[in-house]
Amino acid sequence: MGIENYWQVLLSLVVTLVLAVISIMVIKKLRVGLLPQSKALKVMDYTRLDQRSSLFLVDVEGTRYLVGTQQSGGSLAITRLDRPEQTV
């Protein structure tokens, strides 16, 4: 096997790794859109606070909840959000 074959194998490996990294990035971006949505339960929005904590705004049959999660201890905090009274 000549030196040209080694360069060809190395180039193929680099191209494969780049495509794998791009695929992972796209999957992470679209991950939320791929989750099945229930009619009674909808995740309205979410944000990551740090690598292990997140906040979710969840609508359950018209009532909104703020849900905080922490991955390390498996803790969960839920707060019901009352809608402000609307004035006409």
- Higher-scoring residue by pLDDT: 81, 85: 81
What six digits make up the tokens of 80?
A: 């019901």
Quick: pLDDT tens for 54-63: 888 988 888 8
Considering all CA atoms of the chain, what is the largest pairwise distance in Å, rounded to the nearest integer?
82
Question: Looking at residue 30, what is its pLDDT?
Answer: 72
Question: What are the backbone dihedrals phi and psi of residue 52, each rounded to the nearest 5 degrees, phi first?
Answer: -120, -5
Please name the helix (run of DSSP H) or strand (run of DSSP E) that holds residue 69, with its range, or none: strand 63-70
Arithmetic mean of pLDDT over the chain: 80
